[in-house]
């Protein structure tokens, strides 16, 4: 295996015993990693396994507590991203660090240490982008570009520094399937040129397809080095999670026809709140009792704005543009919409769905102070702590929330467990309508399966469930039909029997429904 350098070749990067401790948490615990020249090396692991911490140490943004890093056989200490770049390490981050009001070339110039004129940089960027098949106009404003195009800027910015090792952190999480294919071609070309790539992902199929070797991390420790081509997706998942992962079982919708329309969105428009946010354009959608409808789409295409509008955090001008259970809701506040029997779960857990410094029981009141006022509040609005504690306990048991104490602060829970609690908080009400934004974002596989199953079960008991998600696998697992949001517009829902990754992917890229052509794939 490549972990022991064969025939005397010095590996490009050799990491031994690298450890990073945050407080009492060993985010990376004696991690060994060897990257040879000209290989695509995958770093696999669940959220919180320590992947990002490891690469941040390699890129000099975090200082390790122990361990050695050898670069071309020589021990080095990387104290800053600047030093990492000087060695020949480049990185493309998961969350882009681009200024939207500047052009692509200006953004690239900002990250270079030299004072080369912008025109020269633009020229170089253009020729480089063409030679790698990543078309890019260096003078376009970043604010006008799609997410895929922004990622190209990051990649080209990285390539301009002629690195020997390129670190990519979850690059496909923001891409359509077609854009991802294009990225893989580029990476394979870079490998052919002898560059090494450290590829972080939790998407097993793409790792299997492209990577030469995988290092699997779990709870900060390396659990395995393997050849992903020889493993199955299931065996890789088991290494990552450490236990058998079962998919949610999607039972067929109840027999006897479809239920009543419980969510009715009709010609919903919303002007952009800021110059760079997405306006909602004429969105219409019906969800019936008993079914789960999914909204797919690349991040930042209006999903957040849509959730704010249907939840009532932002009110509509037209009372009829959002209706729940046959009643107008467009001008009702989020509290009044909850009183109509609707449950909401936002994307952000800490600071939106829950107050980080408050205990779980206090957080229960956040979404239920009005709907359950008779149970939880006495006269003069006095909070009935015992009733709330009982409910909080019931939710934790029902959803299998694993926590350190009886009633810890929300911030003390792992993302998955807090999400189970937040979803359980709404399910506990048995809502007739449930609207969830990114139900399993950053959640470990076990908790994700639990959450997805509970959404399906809720629908099958007669409720209408609307799931907004960037994770196509998830949508295909739970939904009866999938609509796609692109640039503030929503497509017609495709019944799950007709939907394929390719069709949904094309819609995510902005192709017109019924106008499916392949040339639009990567643009």
Partner 1 sequence: MRIELTKRPQHSVLFSVLSPFIALALTMIAGGLLFAALGKNPFDALYFYFIDPLRETWSLHELAIKAAPLILIAVGLAVCFTSNNWNIGAEGQFIMGAVVGSIPPVLFPDIQIFLVLPIMMALGMAGGAAYGAIPALLKVRFNTNEILSSLMLVYVAQLFLDWLVRGPWRNPEGFNFPETRQFHDYAVLPEIISSSGRAHWGFVFALVAALVVWFMMSKTLKGYEVRVLGQSPRAGRFAGFSSSKMVFFAFLVSGGLAGLAGISEVSGAIGQLRPVISPGYGFTAIIVAFLGRLNPLGIVAAGLILALSYLGGEAAQISLGLSDKAARVFQGMLLFFVLATDTLIHYRIKLVMRSRASGGA
Interface with partner 1 (CB under 8 A): 23-25, 63, 68, 74-77, 79, 311-313, 333-335, 338, 344, 346, 348, 351-358, 362, 365-367, 369-370, 377, 380-383
DSSP 17: E
* Nearest residue (CB) to partner 1, 2 versus 21: 21
* Nearest residue (CB) to partner 1, 24 versus 519: 24
Adjacent-strand bridge partners of 295: 468, 483
In the complex, minimum distance from the CB of residue 23 to partner 1, in angstroms, rounded to a whole number: 4
Q: What is the DSSP string of 260-310?
A: -EEEEEEEEEE--SSTTSPPEEEEEEEEETT-EEEEE--TTSSHHHHHHHH
Backbone angles phi, psi at 48, to 5 degrees: 85, 5
* Nearest residue (CB) to partner 1, 145 versus 354: 354
* Nearest residue (CB) to partner 1, 120 versus 373: 373
Interior CA angle at 69 toward 67 and 72, to 5°? 155
In the complex, minimum distance from the CB of residue 178 to partner 1, in angstroms, rounded to a whole number: 34
In the complex, minimum distance from the CB of residue 223 to partner 1, in angstroms, rounded to a whole number: 25
Distance CA 334, CA 331 (A): 10
Q: How far apart are the first and last CA of the chain?
A: 39
In the complex, minimum distance from the CB of residue 382 to partner 1, in angstroms, rounded to a whole number: 5
- Longest Cα–Cα distance in the chain: 80
In the complex, minimum distance from the CB of residue 333 to partner 1, in angstroms, rounded to a whole number: 6
* Nearest residue (CB) to partner 1, 199 versus 344: 344
* Nearest residue (CB) to partner 1, 42 versus 371: 371
In the complex, minimum distance from the CB of residue 159 to partner 1, in angstroms, rounded to a whole number: 28
Distance CA 102, CA 121 (A): 14
Adjacent-strand bridge partners of 42: 199, 214
* Nearest residue (CB) to partner 1, 290 versus 424: 424
In the complex, minimum distance from the CB of residue 311 to partner 1, in angstroms, rounded to a whole number: 8
* Polymer length of the chain: 523
Q: In what order do the strands lie in the sheet with 66-71?
A: 25-35, 13-22, 66-71, 74-76
């Amino acid at each position: 295996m490549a972990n022991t350098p064969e025939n005397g070749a010095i590996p490009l990067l050799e990491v031994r015993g690298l450890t990073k401790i945050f407080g009492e948490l060993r985010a990376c615990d004696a991690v060994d990693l060897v990257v040879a020249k000209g290989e695509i090396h995958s770093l696999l692991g669940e959220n919180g396994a320590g992947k990002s911490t490891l690469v941040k140490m390699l890129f000099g943004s975090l200082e390790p507590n122990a361990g050695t890093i050898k670069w071309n056989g020589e021990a080095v200490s990387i104290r800053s991203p600047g030093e990492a770049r000087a060695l020949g390490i480049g990185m493309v981050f998961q969350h882009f660090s681009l200024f939207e009001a500047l052009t692509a070339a200006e953004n690239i110039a900002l990250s270079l240490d030299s004072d080369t004129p912008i025109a020269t940089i633009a020229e170089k960027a253009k020729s480089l982008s063409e030679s790698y098949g990543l078309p890019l106009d260096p003078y376009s404003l970043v604010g006008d570009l799609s997410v895929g195009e922004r990622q190209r800027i990051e990649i080209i910015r990285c390539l301009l520094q002629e690195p020997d090792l390129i670190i990519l952190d979850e690059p496909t999480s923001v891409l359509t399937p077609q854009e991802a294919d294009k990225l893989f071609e580029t990476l394979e070309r870079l490998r052919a040129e002898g560059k090494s790539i450290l590829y972080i992902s939790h998407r097993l199929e793409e790792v299997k397809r492209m990577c030469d070797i995988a290092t699997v991390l779990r709870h900060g420790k390396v659990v395995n080095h393997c050849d992903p081509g020889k493993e199955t997706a299931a065996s890789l998942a088991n290494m990552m999670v450490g236990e058998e992962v079962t998919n949610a079982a999607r039972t067929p919708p109840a027999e006897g026809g479809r239920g009543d329309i419980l969510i009715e969105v009709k010609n919903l428009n919303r002007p952009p709140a800021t110059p760079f946010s997405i306006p909602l354009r004429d969105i219409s959608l019906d969800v019936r009792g008993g079914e789960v409808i999914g909204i797919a789409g690349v991040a930042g295409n209006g999903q957040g704005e849509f959730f704010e509008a249907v939840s009532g955090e932002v009110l509509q001008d037209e009372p009829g543009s959002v209706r729940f259970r046959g009643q107008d809701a467009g001008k009702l506040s989020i509290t009044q919409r909850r009183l109509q029997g609707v449950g909401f779960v936002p994307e952000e857990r800490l600071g939106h769905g829950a107050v980080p410094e408050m205990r779980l029981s206090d957080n229960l009141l956040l979404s239920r102070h009005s709907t359950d006022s008779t149970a939880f509040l006495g006269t003069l609005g006095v909070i009935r702590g015992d009733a709330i504690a009982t409910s909080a306990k019931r939710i934790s048991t029902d959803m299998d929330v694993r926590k350190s104490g009886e009633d810890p602060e929300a911030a003390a829970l792992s993302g998955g467990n807090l999400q189970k609690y937040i979803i359980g908080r709404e399910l506990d009400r048995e809502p007739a309508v449930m609207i969830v934004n990114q139900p399993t974002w950053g959640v470990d596989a076990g908790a994700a399966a639990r959450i997805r199953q509970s959404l399906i079960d809720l629908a099958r008991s007669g409720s209408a469930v609307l799931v907004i998600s960037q994770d196509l696998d998830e949508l295909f697992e739970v939904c009866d039909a999938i609509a796609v949001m692109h640039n503030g517009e929503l497509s017609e829902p495709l019944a799950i029997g007709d939907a394929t990754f390719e069709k949904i992917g094309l819609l995510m890229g902005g192709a017109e429904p019924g106008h499916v052509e392949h040339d639009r794939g990567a643009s």
